[in-house]
Amino acid sequence: MEKNIQIVSKEGAPVGEFIIEDKWIELEKGEQAVHDVVVAYRAAIRAGTASTKSRSEVKGGGAKPYRQKGTGRARAGTPTSPIWKGGGVAFGPKPRVFYKKVNKKVRQLALKRAFSEKLNESTVHIIDSLEFSDHKTKNAVELMNNLKLNKKVLMVVKDYNENILLATGNIPNLLLIKAGSVNVYQLLHYSNILFSEEAIKEFVGRL
């Protein structure tokens, strides 16, 4: 089930082929692994900083607001009660961590399945080199136009350099990332994945 992907130049001309070996492709299993990894990823990026004050933390309390009997009102022991305006919040949120543990083998399977789906959709592209002569944004825009990649693009490089960081920084719907950092959520989120030839070699090593 090997798959050949055309390697192109910055002008979009074919300059070679990259063989995706069968051991890097998985389309029979891994759906649940992808789900679990995406849920864990989205949980991990939650801030978890929402916080409310309980009845013991709000200002006030101490003295009974009015006498127990004879007023015709319901008895009350403290104005910090959750049913009083300005009182504490019952069962409100507190700072917490939403981290979910996912085993290494499950993460690896999910990455392989997500990558295989992109291969199946023919949305994985390889360029011989992702280097620019200067840091101008027009270099990256011209590259995207030449390769006809006008939707959400995940641009994967082996290492960052100043020119490519600056040239891609102002382009909406484009994310520049190292091959060693690509995750399942990013593979699914972006419409097209553009690897440099060096980056794809490093990425498949993770599969």
DSSP string, 87-124: -PPTT------------HHHHHHHHHHHHHHHHHTT-E
Fold of 3-46+100-204: Ribosomal Protein L4; Chain: A; (3.40.1370)
* pLDDT over 70 percentage in the chain: 100
Give the tokens for residue 25: 């492709």
C-alpha distances in Å from residue 3, one per residue of 6, 119, 135: 10, 8, 34
Tens-place pLDDT, residues 160-196:
989 999 989 888 899 999 999 999 999 999 999 999 9
Question: Among 67-71, 94-98, 121-125, 146-150, which is the least confidently predicted range?
Answer: 146-150
Q: What is the predicted pLDDT for the residue at 1?
A: 66
Distance between CA atoms of residues 48 and 95, nearest Å: 5
Q: What is the predicted pLDDT for the residue at 130?
A: 87
Q: What is the predicted pLDDT for the residue at 131?
A: 86
pTM: 0.82
Judging by DSSP bridges, how do beta strands 3-8 and 192-196 pair with one another? unpaired
Residue 109 burial (CB < 10 Å; 0-12/13-18/19+)?
buried
Q: What is the predicted pLDDT for the residue at 31?
A: 95
CB atoms within 10 A of CB 118: 18
Distance between CA atoms of residues 197 and 207, nearest Å: 16
3-state helix, strand, coil in the chain (%, to 5): 35, 15, 50
CB atoms within 10 A of CB 195: 26
Contact 156, 179 (CB under 8 A): yes
CB atoms within 10 A of CB 137: 14
Residue 62 has pLDDT above 90, yes or no: no
Tens-place pLDDT, residues 79-133:
999 999 999 999 999 999 999 999 999 999 999 999 999 999 999 999 998 888 8
For the chain, the domains span 3-46+100-204, 47-97
Distance between CA atoms of residues 207 and 203, nearest Å: 7
Tens-place pLDDT, residues 10-37:
888 888 899 988 899 999 999 999 999 9
Stretch 130-144: mean pLDDT = 89
Q: What is the predicted pLDDT for the residue at 117?
A: 94
